[in-house]
Amino acid sequence: MNNEKIGPFICRLRKEKNLSQSQLAKELGVTSQAISKWENGRGIPDIALLTELANFFEVDVSELLQGERLPKQKKKKRLFLWATVAVFLIIGGISIFLFSNSQTFEFASLTSHHNAFQVKGIMAYDKTKKSIYISDIIYDGEKEEEYTSLECILYEEDGDSIRKISQCESMDEGDNLTTSSTLSELLKGIEFNIDHYSCSCNSTVCNQLFLKINAKNTKDQIISYEIPIDITSSCSTTP
């Protein structure tokens, strides 16, 4: 998430549609002061409005968060991923984040520092609530083996204690032992949408998160990977 580029990007998209700040505010059901804050870098839209903005400007949510249009190939892939996130936001009832104008919450980017995996997502939080959205787990390893299934588990580590937060599974579309897929293909079916995450640590943002991937190969052997998750680039925002 590029906080410095989000505001100017929203401003540019608005001007491309020949809209004033008040006209855009009316379209989104917010105040013109909110639009001004976004464009001046003093806040960003809440997570529900990010989806609405992306639809209105016909861009991807990830493009809004990066503050620029992505190349067509990357955009096509991320469009599917973030469309899935948008569906879960709506179905899951993201009302916990629809605060009044006097309330403030923050966003943080979720990334990984594993040499073979890229993980990208968002955490939205205030002092009492947290939500986690991960829809982009990419394998960057040099060797692509064949696997029949995998499970991906999100953990929180607090000192010597480890707690499972959520788990997702993915299988080859053939759904039988005679078919297999690469790790990259199986990871496309993995996503986490946790609307109300209760962190056991005392800090507002828990920095001790990691993913564990257990992949079953064609010989029924389990290959495991542990991927630490970094939580960075937090920024305050008000609707």
Q: What is the pTM of this model?
A: 0.55
Express the helix, strand and coil content of the chain in percent, nearest 5 each: 30, 35, 35
* Residue 98 belongs to some domain of the structure: no
Quote the Cα angle for 187-230-61, to 5°: 60
At which of 59, 91, 123 does a domain end? 91
Residues with Cβ within 8 Å of residue 217, at least 6 apart in sequence: 145, 146, 147, 148, 180, 223
pLDDT in tens, 152-180: 999 988 777 888 888 988 875 544 444 77
Task: Say whether both 114 and 73 belong to one domain.
Answer: no
User: What's the total number of domains in the chain?
Assistant: 2
Task: Say whether both 50 and 120 belong to one domain.
Answer: no
CATH number at residue 11: 1.10.260.40
Task: Retrieve residue 72's tokens.
Answer: 């067509």
CA–CA separation, 16 and 100 (whole Å): 30
Residues with Cβ within 8 Å of residue 5, at least 6 apart in sequence: 66, 67, 68
pLDDT in tens, 105-114: 577 778 887 8
- Report helix, strand or coil for 141: coil
CATH number at residue 135: 2.60.40
